[in-house]
Amino acid sequence: MNKKTTRINKLIDILKIRGFVSIKELSSMLNVSEMTIRRDLEILKNNDIAENIYGTTVYNPAHTVVKNEDEYNLLGEVKKKNAQKDDIGRFAASLVDEDDIIIIDTGSTTERIAANLPTDKSLSVLCYGVNILMELRRNPGVKMLFAGGFYHANTQMFESPESIDFIKGVRAQKVFISAAGVHRQLGVTCVNSYEVPVKRAILQSSVQKILVTDSSKFDVVRPAFFCELDRIDIIVTDNALGDEWRRLIAEAGIKLYTV
């Protein structure tokens, strides 16, 4: 992975959280010259992620570029997949009803759910990811519940045994769960083992289990198994999903939405 990409990713993360940051600060945070930051921001500007006004850089909360497999790739042309994730997120968000209690898992796609949540509805949302929390804070209609613990930088989530207890004490209409792999025999998987108890707890606490993931995750197996496919009620993914999967999903009695 090249240095520039890594830096730009950090830059976006910082902007997402803070909303607006001065170039000077970004420069010292990322240990590069201000000139480099300016050049990076030029790229973000072209991708509609941030706007640079005299003195400060402002993050655009409505941006459609989505993190893909742990990293943004703005230099290549993988923007298509990012648009897909935003579409998936927007659609999933539309499944939410007035006064719903929902749980939002970690991940880049689920982040787009949080960002696209209706602002005119009264909602309760449980989450444990910092990126999700930041998106939710923009939404005045949301009553927030947050499961804390120890911070894991790679997934931007908090987690602890007490958190699991907290989640188990919550009841929700819908859970939006993410996955790094979906396999016919081997079930639904994620990357880190610490995610497993959390994912199992949120599945247990919700009436409707909605899996949100782009089509590239199908047929993929990841190290940490957290549930069988048939526990899922609804899948939201993009329309690049193959026919055999569509049949398989229908046979399993799962409602499928492709966007």
Partner DNA sequence: ATTTTTATGTTATGATAATCACAAAATGAT
Partner DNA sequence: ATCATTTTGTGATTATCATAACATAAAAAT
Residue ranges binding a second copy (CB under 8 A): 17-20, 22, 29, 51, 53-56, 58, 60-62, 128, 130, 133-134, 137-138, 140, 143-151, 158, 160, 162-163, 165-166, 169
Which three-class secondary structure state does DSSP give residue 252?
coil
Please say whether the dihedral angle defined by the alpha carbons of residues 62, 68, 70 and 75, taken in this order, is positive or negative.
negative
Which one of a second copy, DNA, none interacts with residue 61, CB within 5 to 8 A by kind? a second copy
Distance CA 66, CA 72 (A): 7
Instruction: Kindly state the smallest distance separating residue 87's Cβ from DNA, in Å.
Output: 16
Instruction: Kindly state the smallest distance separating residue 36's Cβ from DNA, in Å.
Output: 3
Which three-class secondary structure state does DSSP give residue 103?
strand
Largest CA distance in the chain: 57
| Token pair for 205 | 């606490």
Cα 92 to chain centroid distance, Å, stands at 12
Instruction: Kindly state the smallest distance separating residue 17's Cβ from a second copy, in Å.
Output: 6
Q: How would you class 154 by CB atoms within 10 Å of its CB: exposed for 0-12, middle for 13-18, buried for 19 or more?
A: exposed
| Token pair for 49 | 């992620």
Q: Does 2 bind DNA (CB under 7 A)?
A: yes
Q: Does 138 bind DNA (CB under 7 A)?
A: no
**Contact string 70-109 vs DNA (x = CB under 7 A):** -----x----------------------------------
Which one of DNA, a second copy, none interacts with residue 133, CB within 5 to 8 A by kind? a second copy
Distance CA 135, CA 124 (A): 14
Chain residues binding DNA by CB under 7 A are 2-4, 7, 22-24, 31-36, 38-40, 52-55, 75
